[in-house]
Structure 1
Amino acid sequence: MSANLDNFDFAASGRRVFALEAEALAVVAARVDAAFAAACRTMLACRGRVVCTGMGKSGHVARKIAATLASTGTPAFYMHPGEAAHGDLGMVTDADVVLALSYSGESDELLLLLPALRRQGNPVIAMTGRPGSTLAREADHHLDVAVPVEACPLQLAPTSSTTASLAMGDALAVSLLEARGFTADDFARSHPAGALGRRLLLRIADVMHVGDAVPRVPPSATLSEALVEMGRKRLGMTAVADADGRLLGLYTDGDLRRSLNDASIDLRTTRIDVVMSRGPKTITADALASEAAQLMEAHKIHGLLVTDGDGRLVGALNIHDLLLARVV
């Protein structure tokens, strides 16, 4: 190893890797043909799961492909081929499809599994860099991920080849996703703890204040009574509703600042229906919480009242509720 690294051009070395791997992806993309389509149809028809397996670096890639498939509507898991030969093969049912990765196509651990998979009737899809390899020949479908050159200058560390295998796995997952009509809502259901899941699954009903926690006063209340209600409920606003619960208006902290600048307004005697904002922005309880965030941002407001189909007040929320729910 060179002792003098002062003049080494790290950026140029990094750019060379990107260029070589981009070239490799272009070469492999040109081979996405009828064999790829046949593999997709086999996976789409699978009544069980797609079992992804591989050794070494191919195993790491297989594990990632399994995760991508599972999160995009294709049930899948990773199986270590070494452990499979010592009992874990029992995880594979006759309804499963096996996706086996080996760049050489000659990994002993994978080849050892083929007779058992054949006896059980599992379709095998091989992903290799050698179409003439044992694994490629024995598989029902072969995906050729051979690359012109590895990005590693020693041609030892799998680099371009693993990138190509990852891309092929993504191509399989996305093609299956599109064929199934998999939607953002479907994705969210398998990612409930993630930011996307919260945006697509969390409803206003899940975050709004209800019952006595909703600030409200009748139209006959004085402004000072409305301010007491706002102070108790701590949402920076109060709804004005009639005896049947129908929303009439809204009074906010911003309205209070404007009232204080109006000499004609007496906090003790002025009725709230004189100074309230009529026709406030509202939202329904079944709307997505993300819709509330968009509405607040669009209209530069910090709170919303929740009404039902008859215009009755059923809840309230503000921007802090959305922040606590990690919607924004």
Structure 2
Amino acid sequence: MNEPLVSVCMITYNHEPFIAQAIESVLMQKTDFPFELVIGEDCSTDNTRKICEEYEHHNQEKTHLLPSDKNLGVMGNFIRTLQTCRGKYIALLEGDDYWIDPLKLQKQVDFLEENDYCSLCYTNRYIVDEKGNILSEGNLPGPKKMYLTKEDVLGVFTPPMQTTMFLSKYLSRNLFNALKKGYNGDSTLSYFLIREGNFGYLDEITACYRQHPGGIYSRVNNSKRLEKTLENQKEIKRFFSKEDRVLLNRDKVSTLMRLYKEYAYHHQPAKLLKTAGQLILNDIQFKQLNFLKANYWLLKSIKNH
């Protein structure tokens, strides 16, 4: 096969019920350029690797399997799979999600070729259950502007990653170092890429994000997930300028407010007081009223229950 213009980066672990659909949705892509599928299989305990091996055997020109004899974890597997991708552009798709538009790759390449000031292109998506039933249509957690800048993204928005395509030349050493120490690879990758150019939006639904008990975030309770997110936010700030850190602070505030609510609901007074102190200090530093907003939000939630 000629050098691929696009690499599809797919990480998978114990996705036996879903991986075939994910792979098929990549192989069905209709393009006027060569592309490759790089699958990072993270030592699954089910038949995920066997299924991937069968697809690689029958689609050797397009499919490249990266097996592992030990479990590397999400970030370790993601990093090694990204580093193996050869294309000018990289599209992301996890082994339990799938694409529904056979022209997804073509449309996004055309867009990025025509808009060279963009570092990433994304679309809308469906959210589905483990059987593929649609739970919500067009559930985009953020603005639907055609072009997003740093002000639109840093600290407030992460595009749905199974819909994205970005330029591989922006995969820097600092980004990989941040990913190694981080928890949320989606936001970390987004925050690094938005510094390189705008994010372009195509107002179409091209992918399905699957919610199921075995999903990465489904396995972590909400408080733990938010605590890890807060740690990640603190860690990646050191890679950014003072100006960008002010924008990133919005992410920290949002996480603290959600943690405040979680600790109140689950009667964790020590953690609640610590979080209250962090919100108050942040309000003093940035002349904001987030602590009051958090209490208003909490009281409103209690009344609704």
Category of TM-score, reference length = shorter chain? under 0.3
TM-score by length of 2: 0.22
Q: Which has the larger radius of gyration?
A: 1
TM-score by length of 1: 0.20
- Higher RCO structure (Cα 8 Å, ≥6 apart): 2
